[in-house]
Amino acid sequence: MRFFSVAWLIMTKDLKEEVRRKENVLASLFFAFISLVLLHFSVDEMASDITKAGPGVLWIIVIFAGSLFMGNIFRKEEETGTFCALLMAPADSGSIFLGKFLANFVFLSVLESFLVVLAFIFTGFPLHRGTASLASVFMLVTLGYSAAGTIISAIVAREKGAALLYPLLLYPLLVPLFIAAVSLTGLAISGAGILYSPWLRLVILFDILFFCAGLILFEFAAEE
| Mean pLDDT, all residues of the chain | 82
pLDDT reading at 108 higher than 80: yes
pLDDT tens sequence across 177-222: 999 999 998 888 877 778 888 999 999 999 999 999 988 888 777 6
Distance CA 88, CA 90 (A): 6
pLDDT of residue 205: 95
pLDDT reading at 87 higher than 90: no
pLDDT of residue 47: 45
pLDDT tens sequence across 36-54: 887 777 665 544 555 566 7
Q: At what angle do helices 93-123 and 50-70 cross, to 10 degrees?
A: 140
Mean pLDDT of 114-142: 81
pLDDT reading at 63 higher than 80: yes
Mean pLDDT of 170-175: 92
Is residue 72 a contact partner of residue 163, using CB atoms and an 8 Å limit?
Answer: no
pLDDT of residue 216: 86
- Indicate the helix (H) or strand (E) that contains 133: helix 131-156
Least confident of 19-28, 155-164, 173-182: 155-164
Distance CA 36, CA 172 (A): 24
Mean pLDDT of 49-70: 80
* DSSP per position, 169-185: HHHHHHHHHHHHHHHHH
Report DSSP state, residue 49: -
pTM of the model: 0.88
pLDDT reading at 128 higher than 70: no
